[in-house]
Amino acid sequence: MLLRHTPGEISERGALTVNPAKTCQPVGAMYAALGVHRCLPHSHGSQGCCAYHRSALTRHYAEPIMASTSSFTEGASVFGGQSNLLESINNIFTLYNPDIIAVNTTCLSEVIGDDLTQIIGRAAADNKIPKGKTVMFASTPSFKGSHVTGYANMLAAIVQSFAKNTGRKTDRITLLPSFIEPSDMSEIKHIVSAMGIAYIMYPDTSDVVNGPLDGTFRMYPKGGTPRALIEESGDSRCAFALGRVGTLSAAKLLDTRCKVKTEILDLPIGITATDEFVDCLRKTAGVSVPESLLLERGQFVDVLCDKNQYLYGKKVSLSGDPDILLGLARFCSDAGMKVLHVVTGTPAPGKFADRIREITGGDTLVKVGPQADLFYFHQLLQNNRPDLIFGNTYCKYIARDMDIPLIRTGFPIYDRVGHSYFPITGYRGGLHLLVKILDAIMDRQDRDAPEEKFELVM
């Protein structure tokens, strides 16, 4: 196995990335666009680029991902993609009739320097955009950022394109989630609904990439946030952005353009972060926390206390996306585990490392950026071995090489099912994640136990 040749001695690398702990911006932009009802993602670049972006999402969700492409050839690569995009817009509205086309750029169109504002304006002038339809775009070159920043850019473009301030404030709150699973978006909606609070959430990929198999093909699934609600979000009384890296740009736009006071919170992963989210909702809406949520919290705490002897002092290493990593670090710290390493290939603000160390007690090794790859992550683990690894599917090779249990979290997960249906956010999601961790620990304990300690009751 090639990983056996990963050296334990770490040397700084200025320009080389080995097995990056991220994927490219258009993947995240495409995912965000799918969270808007009757919106068709469009990749402005080559057919191969779009095929990869669709493939990454299709493999993760085991669902067909609908998207279109400008299909650059050699001519477009030299002379620009304007004619390709104009023809694409005309064909898409004629054949597929979406309400919105969400264009994301690629490396090729960005290097060429295509002016998307001018091209879309030309399409409108030539009557290629039907009345009541919209073409929007986000700049998402793959040579910088990651799928999380691509998601953030598309979310900001959605706010820019649709959110309106009419001057008439409503009782609704707006929720802007970071790049999380559709199951987590459902869980966040469950919490807000249980508290009796009127809300608008976008993007919302629940019932889009985790819908049922009912024998009917739908080009545009029932889920996704309707355009009308996104427009009304500009009149919300306030907004909560859940996860700084994935939502900061959109949160600032909603605040400055529409005068919607927006507060940025951590993703509600674990007891502490979920309590903070619920408390903010309670104070903002002036409501009480319902018994149903208190029951969910109590069940989570009960299992956490009952099985704390299996968790306390366990050493863990985390790899993934910044917003989820912050949540996992808080979750693990709440459970008495020790976080050794946190590695993300996604650019994150300088305060990210400080937040992680504040949460975990100050001595966690945090690495951010292009050289924070899985090769480096493997080296860290060789020098300070954890009891558990948290990360995506690509971490399975490290887990196998070092014989360490892997808790699959984040994106992408290609080799397991359930992540799109079972959340890790909220109290119910926290309980689900806790059970996954305990199962991994107890399975390993059973595997390694001598005959005389192979117990029926743990």
Q: How many angstroms from the chain centroid is the CA of residue 225?
A: 17
CB distance 364 to 329 below 8 Å: yes
Phi, psi angle pair for 179, to nearest 5° = -70, 100
Which residues neighbour 431 within 8 Å (Cβ) at sequence distance 6 or greater? 296, 299, 300, 303
Residues paired with residue 318 on neighbouring β-strands, in sequence order? 342, 390
Does residue 111 carry a catalytic annotation? yes
| β-sheet with 100-105: strand ranges across | 68-69, 39-44, 100-105, 134-138
Question: What whole-number distance in Å separates Cα of residue 270 and Cα of residue 332?
Answer: 8
Of residues 111, 287, 417, 435, which has the active-site annotation? Answer: 111
**Beta carbons within 8 Å of 324's beta carbon, 6+ residues apart:** 178, 180, 243, 267, 269, 409, 410
Q: In whole angstroms, give the CA distance from residue 398 to residue 68.
A: 35
Catalytic one of 24, 107, 209, 395? 107
The phi and psi torsions of 55 (rounded to 5 degrees) equal -65, -45
Rounded distance, CA 229 to CA 158, Å? 12
**The tokens of 7 are what?**
């050296």
Residue 344, amino acid: T
> Catalytic residue at 208?
no
Contact 20, 368 (CB under 8 A): no
Q: What is the Cα–Cα distance from 124 to 110, expressed in whole angstroms?
A: 22
- Those residues whose C-beta lies under 8 Å from the C-beta of residue 361, and which sit 6 or more positions away, are 333, 338
Q: How many CB atoms lie within 10 A of CB 355?
A: 19
Q: Which residues are tagged catalytic?
A: 107, 111
